[in-house]
Chains A and B, each alone.
Chain A
């Protein structure tokens, strides 16, 4: 009957109750949507940025992240790739070799990051091959082929079919020199990549740079970033060569990770403010209703209802209010999120963070347990906590004073 009583008390002031529920629902819906949007855009950002080139994770020699020297090598990349592929969640493993080189065409020369990639496996860990604008991507059987970013090709004044000279430092400290033919030009939209990256077949790279079948890294791919990230401990355990390191996306793109962390902590501040405001609205409703009913509480005390019980009834009223508001908010916010999850939200002229990390024009919010529940739970929890104030007040009521209250 306490619950029934609390429920009926709630509807003594219908408009006020509806207003409280509505404001809570609104704030909750906003939280659900914003959080879904934010987490969704992070996921898109991460996936797009990583998929393009870095990959979701990679195996590398110790110290390679800090000093990516061509001489830091994985002696048997095929063994590492095979071990990683066996771990559930990892569906692709592609060895790569990488060196900073000078590319030259006649008088013109530019520095570039040249990667030796396996044309068969590379497209499964990197979407760079899909950004080819002219010509084609590397294919199996290619030997002296190279693909360049469009800005780099333009800077060097190269056309498809032209030869380009590669000059670098080989793994055995000797000079690495080669002459390759431009077969394709890509455009990723990321300035640095288009201006600095070049790819050639891994086998030829290994010859040119005296690597004898070794590689610098093994890039891992899979269905989703989360899946691959979760598989990493198992990959680590599966590797025969214990000197190798397995790096997750945060280590590969520390800048992106920092940007996301910063962006998220800024918005946490706003979310927290919203939660506090809503908690105050509900609390205010409750305190008003407690004041109005002081005389009635006095009567209940006189009849023999313990003060804790009366306070508990009030607390229950507030909890009902909070749960209704949060429930409605989850429903509305969740529905809106699901709709946009299907349709995407066009982001016009968005500079900075998103453009920098290669986001497409649309963002897809993702509804997850975290985005749907953490906001509402925070609201319900802070309301329940704030409710201890009126709880304490009611508990301290004395029957005569309460009955004499106006």
Chain B
């Protein structure tokens, strides 16, 4: 594994936000590599910069300093549309809430990504149906998000994140709105898909039980990586 090129590589990442006269330093020099197949959790107190870090890695926002490389592509060199296309092809997102398009059914939500990618309709439908089956939602394909439980909605989001076969899935507190049993099931699901599909996962969370299931654990405090279980195993 150490010999493989990382899927994500962050160097000297800083992110400052300015609100009026107040400047917040959300990230203060983050160096981090995510290897192919990693199943990593990112923990830290509220405000420590987890969401900011995921957003920078996912190309949703640009760093104030430093650089993000995803699958060999320097994000800083991409324009707006190229960045959007990179998200479409290489990154799967699972957010805490408001993940799904409310007017589309479960299977249409999953298909949507494939359609943006230009996949032909028949293949689209087949892959989306298979992805929903993978996350245990067989038979619920035609339900709209409003007719699914919170846990089921997050499963649809996971299916959608994986259906395009991304390099990495970024999940920002995906279990925060779920009860602990459902949360555990979702994490088990992600861990299984990580093992089967081989996509890397980076999951931000507060949940100790989620952390317990991860294979790699990263701690963020005040915008810095303060501990990384991978670094402990393989000193840089």
Decide whether A and B assemble into one complex: yes
Q: Measuring CB to CB, which residues of chain A are less than 8 angstroms from any residue of chain B? A: 1, 5, 8-9, 11-12, 295-296, 299-307, 309, 398-400, 403
- Whether B60 pairs with A8 at a CB distance below 8 angstroms is no
Nearest-CB residue, chain A, relative to B92: A303
- Whether A299 pairs with B98 at a CB distance below 8 angstroms is yes
- Whether A305 pairs with B98 at a CB distance below 8 angstroms is no
Distance of A301 Cα from B84 Cα, bound (Å): 7
- Whether A304 pairs with B101 at a CB distance below 8 angstroms is no
- Whether B84 pairs with A8 at a CB distance below 8 angstroms is no
- Whether A304 pairs with B104 at a CB distance below 8 angstroms is no
Residues of A near B115 (CB, < 8 A) are 1
Residues of B near A302 (CB, < 8 A) are 58, 60, 87, 93, 95
- Whether B103 pairs with A304 at a CB distance below 8 angstroms is no
- Whether B102 pairs with A12 at a CB distance below 8 angstroms is yes
Does B80 touch A at the CB level, under 8 Å? Answer: yes
- Whether A295 pairs with B98 at a CB distance below 8 angstroms is yes
Number of interface residues of B (CB under 8 A): 28
Contact A296 B98, CB 8 Å, known A8-B103, A304-B88, A307-B80? yes
1/0 contact string of B31-70 vs chain A (CB within 8 Å): 0000000000000000000000001001011000000000
CB proximity of B62 to chain A, nearest CB, Å: 10
Does B85 touch A at the CB level, under 8 Å? Answer: yes
Residues of A near B111 (CB, < 8 A) are 1
Partner of A400, one of B60, B84, B89, B93: B60
Partner of A299, one of B58, B99, B104: B99
Distance of A305 Cα from B113 Cα, bound (Å): 8
Distance of A296 Cα from B95 Cα, bound (Å): 12
Residues of A near B55 (CB, < 8 A) are 399-400
Contact A305 B99, CB 8 Å, known A5-B104, A399-B61, A400-B55? no
| 11 examples of A-B residue contacts, CB within 8 angstroms | A9-B103, A295-B98, A296-B98, A296-B101, A299-B101, A300-B101, A304-B88, A305-B84, A399-B55, A399-B60, A403-B98
- Whether A12 pairs with B103 at a CB distance below 8 angstroms is yes
Residues of A near B102 (CB, < 8 A) are 12, 296
